[in-house]
Structure 1
Amino acid sequence: MIELTNVTKEFKSKKRKIVGVDNVSLTIDSGEVYGIVGYSGAGKSTLLRCMNILERPTSGEILIDGIDLLQLSGRKLREARQSIGMIFQGFYLVSSKTVYENVAFALKAAGVPDKKIRPRVNHLLELVGLTDRTNQYPSQLSGGQKQRVSIARALANNPKVLLCDEATSALDPNTTKSILALLKKINRELGLTIVIITHEMEVVKEICHRCAVMRDGRVIEQGSTYEIFSNPTEPLTKKFIETILDFQLPEQLLETITGKLVRLHFWGELAAEAIVSDVLQNFSVKGNILHGKVEYIRDVPLGIFVMEVNGEPRETEAAIDYLRERVSKVEVINNG
C-alpha cells in the first residue's frame, strides 16, 4: 500500500543544511495501523508530511498503491491527495463554520455535487458520533469533539489512507482512549490504512499493528508492535517501553536482596501459565515476586515479573535453568 524507499528531506538555510529525514525506507501494508514514534525533532512529522507531498522529499520514492507521488504534479497530484486524509493535533477547523459546514467544505473543495454532500456529511457525523452537534460551532465543542470533526472531514472523500499527526497529544487520557477506539473502529469497518505519528507508547500499544522508532531523522528499529514491546533492541526503544513497563526497584529494596534477582518475560499464552508456582513446587527454593505486570498489546498478553529466588546455589541455578526452558526470556539482574 505505502512504500517509502530511501526517502531523504533536507532543509537549507544560508548557513547550513539540516537533514529532517535521513534515508528512510518503510513498507506499510494495506489495512494496517502503523505507528511512527520518536521524541520531538526526530523527524517523524516531516516524514508523515512527505507521504502526501506536503513536504517534497529531496530524494527517494513514495509509492501509494504503486503510484509514485513524486512523479505527479498539478491536477494529478491534487487528485492523488484526495485518497489521503490527514488529521492534526491542532484540529484546524474553520471557526466561523458549523460542524456540518466544516465537513462539507472538504466535499465542496473536491467538486462533489451539492445533492450528494448532505447524505455524505450526515453519514460521516453518525460514524464519528456527532449527529447531535451538526449545527454547533467549534468554540462550542470539547477537544475530543473537535478531533472527531477533523476525522469526519478527513474521511469525506473516501480516502484509502489516513495520516494522523500527533492526533491525541492535546487530549486528556480518557478522551485519547475514545479517539483511539474510534480510529480502531474506522480501521476495522472501512479497511482504512492508518499511519499514526506519536511520542506516546500508550497510543502505539493500544492501536498499532506495527511500528517504527525514529531518532535524528532515521528509523532505528521497526517491527510488529508486540515484538517491539516484548524484545526491544535499541536503547531508545527500551526507554520508550519503560514508560509503559517500568520495573525499576527502589534502592532500599535492592539493599535487602540476598538471593538471585531475575526478570521474567512471558509472551503470549505463557502469560497465563502457572510457571512460577511450578518452580517453587519442584525445587527447594523460595520465590518472592517483587514487581510484576501483564499488559495487553492489541489483545495479546505480555507479562513481565521481577522475582527474588533464594536457596542453595545448586538448587537456585537449577530453578533458573528450568525457568529458562519454560519462560520466553529470563534476565539475571544480580549475582545473588
Structure 2
Amino acid sequence: MITLESIEKVYESKSSRVVGVDNVSLSIEKGEIYGIVGYSGAGKSTLLRCINILERPTSGKVIVDGVDLLELSGKRLREARQSIGMIFQGFYLVSSKTVFENVAFALKAAGVDRAKREERVLELLSLVGLADKANQYPSQLSGGQKQRVSIARALANSPKVLLCDEATSALDPSTTKSILSLLKKINDELGITIVIITHEMEIVKEVCDRCAVMQDGKVVEEGPSYEIFANPKEDLTKEFIQTVLDFQLPAKLLENCSGTLVRLQFRGEQAGESVVSDMLQNHKVKGNILHGKVEYIREKPLGIFIMEVIGEQVEIQRAISYLQDRLKQVEVIKHVSK
C-alpha cells in the first residue's frame, strides 16, 4: 500500500544544512497498523508528512497504492491526497463551525453535493460515537471528543490511508485508550491502512502490527511489533521497550538473594505452560519469582519473569539448561553468593 524508497529530506539555508530524513526505505502493507517511534527531533513527523507530500522529499520515491506521488502535481496531486486522511495532535477544528460543519468541510471541498454530504457526515459521526454532538461547537467538547471529530473529518472522503501524527499525545491515558480502540475499529471494519507517529511504546503495544524506530532521521530498527518487544536489537529500542517492560530490581531485594538470578521470557503459548514448575519438580533446586508480568502485544502474550534459583551450582546449571531448552530465551543476570 505504501512504499518509501530512499527518502531524504534536507533543509538548506545560506548558513546551514539540516537532514530531517536520512535515506529511509519502508514498506507498509495494505490494511495494517504501522507505528513509527522516536524521540522529538528523530524525523518521524517529517517522514509522515512526506507520505502525503505535505513535505516534499529532497529525493526518493513515495508510492501510495501503486502511484508515485512525487510524479504528480496540481490537480492530480490534490485528487491523490483525497485517498490519504490525516489527524494531528492539535485537532485543528474550526472553532466557529459546528461538529457537523467541521466534518462536512472536507466533503464540500471535494465537491460532494449537499444531500450526500449530510448523509455521509451523520454516518461518520455515528461511527466515531458523536451522533448526538452534531450541532455543538468544538469549545463544548472534551479533548477526546475533538479528536473523534478530526478522525471523522479525516475519513470523510473514504481514504485508503489514515496518517496519525502524535494523535493521542494531548490526551489523558483513559481517553488515549478509547481513541486507540476507535482506530482499531476503523482498521478492522473499513480496512484502512493506518500509520501512527508516536514516542510511546505503549501505543505500539496496543495497536501496531509492525513498527519502525527512528533516530537522527534514520530507521535504526524495524519489524513486527511482537518481535521488537520480545527481542530488541538496538540500545534505543531497548530504552523504549523498558518504558513498558520495566524490570529493574530494587537493591534491597538483591541484598537478600543467595542464588542465581535468571530472566525468563515466555512467548505466545509458552506463557500458559508450566515450565517453571516442571523445572522445580525435575531438578534439585528451589526457586523464587522475584518479579514478573505478562504483557499483551496486539493481544498476543509476552511473559517476562526474573527468578532466583537456589541450590548446588551443578544443579543450578542443569536447571538453567532445562529452561533454555524449553524457552530458548533465558538470561543469567547475576550469580549472588553470600
Q: Same fold (TM over 0.5)?
A: yes
Q: How does 1:102-117 map to 2 (within 5 A)?
A: 102-117=102-117
Residue number in structure 2 paired with 1:232: 232
Task: Measure, in 2, the Cα distance between the counterparts of 1:56 and 1:251.
Answer: 51
Residue number in structure 1 paired with 2:176: 176
Residue number in structure 2 paired with 1:122: 122
Structure 1 runs not aligned, ≥5 long: none
Task: Measure, in 2, the Cα distance between the counterparts of 1:13 and 1:305.
Answer: 52
Amino acid at match of 1:259: G
Residue number in structure 1 paired with 2:132: 132
Residue number in structure 1 paired with 2:211: 211
Q: How does 1:297-308 map to 2 (within 5 A)?
A: 297-308=297-308
Q: Percent of aligned positions with the same letter in both sequences?
A: 73
Residue number in structure 2 paired with 1:221: 221
Task: Measure, in 2, the Cα distance between the counterparts of 1:182 and 1:115.
Answer: 27
1:266/1:328 contact within 8 Å kept: no
Amino acid at match of 2:141: L
Residue number in structure 1 paired with 2:88: 88
Task: Measure, in 2, the Cα distance between the counterparts of 1:126 and 1:57.
Answer: 37
Secondary structure at 2:5 match in 1: strand
Residue number in structure 2 paired with 1:274: 274
Secondary structure at 1:333 match in 2: strand
Residue 255 (structure 1) shift: 2.4
1:98/1:136 contact within 8 Å kept: yes
Secondary structure at 1:26 match in 2: strand
Q: How does 1:1-336 map to 2 (within 5 A)?
A: 1-336=1-336
Task: Measure, in 2, the Cα distance between the counterparts of 1:177 and 1:328.
Answer: 33
Amino acid at match of 1:90: G
Amino acid at match of 1:11: Y
Structure 2 runs not aligned, ≥5 long: none
Task: Measure, in 1, the Cα distance between the counterparts of 2:156 and 2:175.
Answer: 23
Number of aligned residue pairs: 336
1:260/1:335 contact within 8 Å kept: yes
Residue 66 (structure 1) shift: 1.1
Secondary structure at 2:334 match in 1: coil
Residue 257 (structure 1) shift: 2.0
Deviation by residue 1:270-301 (Cα, 9 ceiling, x = unmatched): 01111111111111101010000000111110
Deviation by residue 1:125-175 (Cα, 9 ceiling, x = unmatched): 000000110000000000000000000000000000000000000000000
Residue 114 (structure 1) shift: 1.4
Residue 256 (structure 1) shift: 2.4
Secondary structure at 2:14 match in 1: coil
Task: Measure, in 2, the Cα distance between the counterparts of 1:21 and 1:335.
Answer: 44
Amino acid at match of 1:306: I
* Runs of 4+ more than 4 Å apart: none
Residue 252 (structure 1) shift: 1.9
Q: Which moved more, 1:86-95 or 1:276-285?
A: 276-285
Secondary structure at 1:57 match in 2: coil
Task: Measure, in 1, the Cα distance between the counterparts of 2:212 and 2:44.
Answer: 10
Residue 13 (structure 1) shift: 2.2
* Structure 1 vs Structure 2 CA RMSD: 0.6
Secondary structure at 1:36 match in 2: strand
Residue 328 (structure 1) shift: 3.5
Amino acid at match of 2:66: G
Task: Measure, in 2, the Cα distance between the counterparts of 1:95 and 1:264.
Answer: 53
Task: Measure, in 1, the Cα distance between the counterparts of 2:28 and 2:170.
Answer: 26
1:267/1:328 contact within 8 Å kept: no
Task: Measure, in 2, the Cα distance between the counterparts of 1:163 and 1:300.
Answer: 25
